[in-house]
Structure 1
Amino acid sequence: MTEVQHLRIVRDAADAPTLPLGNETEPAQSGTELAAQIFDGEIVDDGEPQAQAEAGLPALRTIRLPLPLPVPSERTVTIARGALAAAVTTAQGSHSWTVRAWDSLTLGVYRRQIRSAEAAGDREALAEWQERHHQAITRRRDRLAGLPVLAWSMTKFAGGVLAGGVVLTVGASTLVWAVGAAEWMTIPRAIATAIRWGVSTVEVLLGPALVAAPVAIGWAAWREGRRRSEVPAWVAGDSDDTPTGRDVIPDESAILAALRHLELAPLNKAFKSGWRPRFVLPTERDGKGYHTQLELPRGVNVEMINNKKKLLAHNLVRFPVEVWPTEPRDKPGVLDLWVADQGALSGPVDPWPLLHKGSADYFRGVPVAVDIRGRTIIGRLSEANYAAAGMMGSGKSTLFITLLLGALLDPLVTAEVFVMADNADYEPMQPRLRTLRTGQGDDVVEACMAALRRTYNELSVRGKALREHDARAVTRELAEKDERLRPRILVIDECQALFMHEEFGEEAAEIAVKLESAARKYAVTLMYATPEPSTDSLPRRLISITSNKACFAIGDQLSNDAILGTGSYKAGISAVGLVPKTDEGPGDVGTFMGRGFTPRPGLLRGYYVSQSDARAVVERAMKLREQAGITSGTPERRDLLEDLAAVLGGQTIKAADVPALLREHAPQWAPYRSLTGKQLVADLADLGVKVPSTGNRWEIDAALIREALNRRQADEEQDES
């Protein structure tokens, strides 16, 4: 029988299963799973090998292995690391409090500023901070000197209150005893009972308060640590421990995961080196979304994040229009991130607040939209002007209709609308408008030019009125008192047809810029809309002085910046991601990027008022105007020459046929209702315009009227100079 040596592996006091060693002829009965493992140990003799051989038992060799260290589970590591991170964060918060307290005691802020000014060689700043330091020391010395006086005053006050309480108690007790209502000691006993109850309550609450105080202090220190410091990388773990899933709720871990996968080299480098952001504002609920602020690492700015906005939105499980990374004005280097709820920007907007009731005030503005947080946005009218652009059907005219309907609910407002296209968008408002002209012909352009000239000329009238009232700007009180200062609104829709007109385009741009530059204090509001923003269709000089700008769904970056301002796209102020209305759905109709509506540019959703609802609003507006004592729809005055320039349309027409055109142009102006051709010729003669008889036909030439208007404008400019 062949001798078989056996190997016995011993890990602890108990013997392990025995395995054959060498050429085995008998299989091991158990423990065969150890054969594939590699062990490091010491081979020793086991007991008495001679005795075992005599007994006919196989020789044994034993390997004694050291006890293996236990391997903790992943959950245990996570819990331990989390506990350690919380402890480190709490310690950092306590350290922050200590530093701030020391700074407060030693006026460290001033000392650092002084050292900084010295290092920069800024003598002016050095002198200023030294003076501030001296003033702070003086104020502290005065406060310390006043502490004994304050303590004595509080002591006297407490003594007076106590003495007054004693006197009041004695008097009340005496009165109660005198009238026989109760014994003299009834009130003192009640007071003593109340004091005992108070003391007992304090004793009961003191124990839980002493237990809760360290917890509250620790929690506050932890919050301070999160706000002020970063958890070291060796505590937070390596980069692979950070959650990388696309979480629906954009909390801190989801935001970090989204940033990690933006494929930005400087940001990746920061993560690999152990960077962890300091959350200036932890994620919190804000309207219909979540708001977070965090410091970016060196070499990474907000513009880089904006360039990756589509990928950032994807990582956060959102559409690009639902994610808004910006940089706060007062916190450079900080990413201000607002993430909307999924689908928060879809669905209808709440009804317009002025739809069924209420009036408006031109000088306070009207509700026009809601922001992405669901708050109502007021569109200013006084000292404001508007420009809107976007693809056809994106909602720019709807925005102007809402603004205009709200303005017309103020009885003092007079409005004129010129639409360089054939549509019925503004038709419901015609009874309340002074002028409504629509169409693609030159006659509408000429009528619009006449309105621009007239409005510009009226500025001198308004200026004189302000001087008479010794006022710097029109207010509601002045507008109610003086009809010369009543608010006026001029809407030019499809304005590209005006500014790109071969004959009037250059003049229109010049007058529009002059008018808008000077109209701010005179209660005159101008509104321009175009589907194709460019330097030709919407002059850059005009956009630069326009206060409120709205960009709906737009095609490219250049068009976006043409309406919102150069550099807007790179700064994240963009409407390029908005989807226009298509056959498949409404897209982002009514949603626009607004500038000037709120302190910071942002995405807004305009209210929608249907045609039938607009008619009801106009009826209410006419009633309000009648109640105010102003005849509905009747303008304060009209200019015959400008009306003639509008109705002639560049043609020569017999005088007998012109009154009918004037009545059609201004149906509510009483002088035109009974006007005849003969009287018209006489009225023109009074204005210095002689109509030639030409075979007793008395034809009125549009060129003659334009010449008279230009001559009058030149005379007025000469008078002003």
Structure 2
Amino acid sequence: MTETAPERVNGHDKPQVSLLKFAPEQPTAPAAEKATASFDSVAPRRRVRIDSLRRVVVETRTNPGYRLAVRHGSYLWGGTRILTRRAWDGRTAARYERMMRIAEASGNEELVREWEARISAYRAARQKRRMELLQLALHAPKALLTSSVAGAGLLLMLGILLAWANHDVHDVLAPLNAVVSFVALVAWVASVIWDPLLYALPWLALAGAWSVGRQQQTAPVWALPADQAEQDVVPDEGAILRALGNLGIAPLNRAIKAGWQPRWVQPTTRAGNGWHTQLQLPEGVPVEMIADKKRTLAHNLLRKPVEVWPTEPRDQAGVLDLWVADPGVLTKPVPPWPLLTEGTTDFFKGVPVALNARGEQVIGRLMAANYLIAGIMGSGKSSLVVALLLGAMLDPLVEVDVHVLAYNVDYDPMRPRLRSLVKGDENEHVVAAMDMLRALAGEVSRRGQELERIGTETKLTREIAERDPSMRPRIVVFDEVHELFGHPEHGKEAKELALKVTKKARKTGIVLLWITPDADANSLPRGISKTVSHRVAFAINDHQGNDAILGTGMHKNGYSATTLVAGEDVGTAMAAGFGKTPGLIRSYYVRKEAGVDEITPVVERAVALRKGVEQAAEPTFEPADPLADTAAVLGDEPRVLVQEVLHRLAAKNPSQYASWGPADLKKALEPFGAQQYKSDGRMVISRDRVMDAVLERLAEDAASIYEDEGGAED
């Protein structure tokens, strides 16, 4: 408090009322400095204590003895908890109620009703058992007395018979004495082992609980051994929600902050060598957003990208179907091919070619199937093709033709079992592939007519193939097919023929394999991925190429091979057609490399199986002569309708002309001046024009031969 000084008025002091001011007392400068120094000296000491405590905790956790104690103690406690829960579930209806709550949370009313029926049946059965036990307790004394009297009577009767036979009255009680001695022996044995067993039971129970805990890995991750601590973190519901919340997706983050409660369509369950779950995503978060963040999602779940597959089921819009593999399981070597050392196959049943992500065997169908296989160089396409072809070769009925529009040695070891092998990227090799396509077009028509004549349901069977060599199953491989479809002269026709043959060949026993490293509109016919039954995408660079192979929208739904890495994920692919839904496959690897040759022994077995089997005719690639063939089918008629000429040409040489139309015929005859023209409003072919063209060509050929053989010398 302070008092103001008095004012002076007219030379006198004027009394003033004291003005009291209330203010907090401020410390003097030395006191403030002392307090600050005291605070500054306390803070470092506190930080030192925290750091020391943290260091002690870390050192304690890294101490082997402490980790050992915590680990095995956690095994024991966790195992006891698991066994207790199992016992509780077995003795009560808790399991049914838990499953019913999960079904209610997922909104599956049908499943709720099913579990209600199950719990009602369980309770009824439990009530029945309890009533039976109560009745047994009531009737047990009477049953025990009755059985004892009956047993004693039976033993006395047996004793009387023994005494009668041995003429010794003492034998009457011999059976009773034997039973009493046996009971005494059992009691003595029980008294001997009872005490040790009684003392051992708690230890046996502890050992059992420890074993269950160890099996279920109930210890903290930091307490596990180094080799186990790095293995697995179970992607349960909590781990999945945390991983989704850290993807950086704005709509998902907003939903989580707004209190979004996830609806688990299927809780996390063990599936093969991984974990499977289904989750209804919130509004504004399509599965495509999750799939685009696959690398981050895998990182959040402590997995590699190839080990995490977020997809959308076909019949469940807005549902995230998440499969998470065990760490490292998809990078381990694939087991040996099952047919590597023994066994045969049946074309009409398929062959083993790969494993799916869960480690289950994948069968590659051959009958009524065809394949589109793509992937950049080094992604492992040949591993799937080799497994498929080697499996097919172990059926002695199958014929295999291969056209490789490049120079490589992938198919050379299989040459002894191939019907034909053409490889190279020159124009002549493209022409040979075109000849094969044209021949296949005619072959498909011929086989269809033959099946119709036989009267089958237009589908080849093994009985037909065994009876008729011309109807044997065929596999035709077109590798590096982008060279064919992109050819400036033959590309357009090749695409048209490829689509026609692929659509019609399936039920006739002809299998086509289209293989390319390029997956775009220029290297593949439009619609080819919609036509083939099996689509396989190894490592692909972009989602456009992914959808060109697997089908439109597949990348959007999470079925994408863009995260596969060539050279690392060799032989791993995203495939459709091998099951009800697309999925990851890992093809078997049958090797032929320096010091290891697994292909040749299989080929030798396949060749041996062919002995005694009537062979189909070898393919020929002699070019047809449309002018001469047209002249032959015209006969003596002056003019013939174009459609009739085409029909006669197809009957004469179906492998060449079955797929021809009026434009094809015009293109072939126009260089000779014998093309069709309109007569009476209809397009016809003139016999005179065709014969004049034939004679003119013969004259030109004769003049050429004359000049080559000596005309110049004369």
Q: State the distance in 1 between where 2:449 and 2:157 align.
A: 78
User: Cα 1:310–1:649, aligned 2, differ >3 Å: closer, same or farther?
Assistant: farther
Q: State the distance in 2 between where 1:198 and 1:384 align.
A: 69
Aligned to 2:560: 574
Q: 1:604 aligns with which of 586, 605, 625?
A: 586
Q: CA deviation at 1:528?
A: 1.8
**Contact persistence 1:390–1:552 (CA under 8 A):** yes
User: What pairs up with 1:135-174 in 2 under 5 angstroms?
Assistant: none
**Contact persistence 1:493–1:530 (CA under 8 A):** yes
User: Cα 1:587–1:197, aligned 2, differ >3 Å: closer, same or farther?
Assistant: same
Q: SS of 1:502's equivalent?
A: helix
Q: SS of 2:363's equivalent?
A: strand
Q: State the distance in 1 between where 2:160 and 2:510 align.
A: 76
Aligned to 1:451: 440
Aligned to 1:312: 297
User: Cα 1:411–1:260, aligned 2, differ >3 Å: closer, same or farther?
Assistant: same
Q: 2:539 aligns with which of 517, 528, 553?
A: 553
Q: Are positions 1:345 and 2:331 aligned together? A: yes
Q: CA deviation at 1:551?
A: 0.7
Q: State the distance in 2 between where 1:291 and 1:414 align.
A: 42
Q: CA deviation at 1:619?
A: 1.9
**Contact persistence 1:361–1:410 (CA under 8 A):** yes
Aligned to 2:388: 403
Amino acid at match of 2:570: V
Aligned to 1:323: 308
User: Cα 1:427–1:139, aligned 2, differ >3 Å: closer, same or farther?
Assistant: closer
Amino acid at match of 2:532: T
Q: State the distance in 1 between where 2:573 and 2:494 align.
A: 31
Q: State the distance in 2 between where 1:24 and 1:502 align.
A: 97
Aligned to 1:18: none
Q: State the distance in 1 between where 2:409 and 2:627 align.
A: 29
User: What pairs up with 1:706-721 in 2 under 5 angstroms?
Assistant: 708-709=652-653, 713=658
Aligned to 2:182: 190
Aligned to 1:669: none
Q: State the distance in 2 between where 1:162 and 1:465 align.
A: 79
Q: Normalising to structure 1: TM-score of the pair?
A: 0.57
**Contact persistence 2:477–2:512 (CA under 8 A):** yes
Aligned to 1:630: 613
**Contact persistence 2:376–2:539 (CA under 8 A):** yes
Q: 1:505 aligns with which of 495, 501, 505?
A: 495
Q: Are positions 1:442 and 2:431 aligned together? A: yes
Q: State the distance in 2 between where 1:465 and 1:208 align.
A: 78
Amino acid at match of 1:608: V
Amino acid at match of 1:526: L
Moved more, 167-176 or 444-453: 167-176
Q: State the distance in 2 between where 1:558 and 1:588 align.
A: 20
Q: SS of 2:344's equivalent?
A: coil
Q: Say which structure, 1 or 2, has more relative contact order (CA 8 Å, 6+ apart).
A: 2
Instruction: Among all aligned residue pairs of Structure 1 and Structure 2, give the percentage whose two residues are the same amino acid.
Output: 33
Aligned to 1:291: 275
**Contact persistence 2:442–2:657 (CA under 8 A):** no
Q: State the distance in 1 between where 2:275 and 2:459 align.
A: 39
Q: CA deviation at 1:369?
A: 2.5
Q: Normalising to structure 2: TM-score of the pair?
A: 0.58
Q: State the distance in 1 between where 2:373 and 2:300 align.
A: 32
Aligned to 2:519: 533
User: Cα 1:260–1:707, aligned 2, differ >3 Å: closer, same or farther?
Assistant: same
Aligned to 1:358: 343
User: Cα 1:409–1:141, aligned 2, differ >3 Å: closer, same or farther?
Assistant: closer
Q: CA deviation at 1:450?
A: 0.5
Q: State the distance in 2 between where 1:24 and 1:373 align.
A: 75
User: Cα 1:431–1:33, aligned 2, differ >3 Å: closer, same or farther?
Assistant: same
Q: SS of 2:352's equivalent?
A: strand
Tell me how many residue pairs correspond in the alignment: 555
Q: 1:367 aligns with which of 338, 352, 359?
A: 352
Q: CA deviation at 1:442?
A: 1.8
Moved more, 451-460 or 187-196: 187-196
**Contact persistence 2:294–2:305 (CA under 8 A):** yes
Q: State the distance in 1 between where 2:158 and 2:323 align.
A: 63
**Contact persistence 1:277–1:296 (CA under 8 A):** yes
Render the CA deviation track for 1:18-61: whole Å, top value 9, x for unaligned: xxx99999xxxxxx9999479xxxxxxxxxxxxxxxxxxxxxxx
**Contact persistence 1:345–1:372 (CA under 8 A):** no
User: What pairs up with 1:33-44 in 2 under 5 angstroms?
Assistant: 36=38
Amino acid at match of 2:515: A
More helix by share: 2
Q: State the distance in 1 between where 2:498 and 2:470 align.
A: 24
Q: State the distance in 2 between where 1:278 and 1:213 align.
A: 39
Q: CA deviation at 1:445?
A: 0.8
Q: CA deviation at 1:558?
A: 0.8
**Contact persistence 2:349–2:367 (CA under 8 A):** yes
Amino acid at match of 1:341: G
Amino acid at match of 2:182: A
User: What pairs up with 1:85-104 in 2 under 5 angstroms?
Assistant: 101=93
Render the CA deviation track for 1:456-499: whole Å, top value 9, x for unaligned: 421332455463xxx89656566556656643323232334555
Q: SS of 1:340's equivalent?
A: coil
Q: State the distance in 2 between where 1:370 and 1:198 align.
A: 55
Q: CA deviation at 1:549?
A: 1.6
Q: Are positions 1:417 and 2:398 aligned together? A: no
Q: SS of 1:363's equivalent?
A: coil
Q: State the distance in 2 between where 1:282 and 1:485 align.
A: 50
Amino acid at match of 2:540: I
**Contact persistence 1:443–1:648 (CA under 8 A):** no
Q: State the distance in 2 between where 1:418 and 1:161 align.
A: 86
Q: State the distance in 1 between where 2:493 and 2:314 align.
A: 45
Q: 2:481 aligns with which of 483, 495, 506?
A: 495
Q: CA deviation at 1:557?
A: 0.3
Flag structure 1 segments of 5+ consecutive residues without an equivalent.
1-20, 26-31, 39-72, 77-82, 118-124, 221-225, 227-246, 581-585, 654-680, 693-703, 716-721
User: What pairs up with 1:235-250 in 2 under 5 angstroms?
Assistant: 248-250=230-232
Q: SS of 1:337's equivalent?
A: strand
Q: SS of 2:354's equivalent?
A: strand
User: Cα 1:486–1:599, aligned 2, differ >3 Å: closer, same or farther?
Assistant: same
**Contact persistence 1:372–1:605 (CA under 8 A):** no
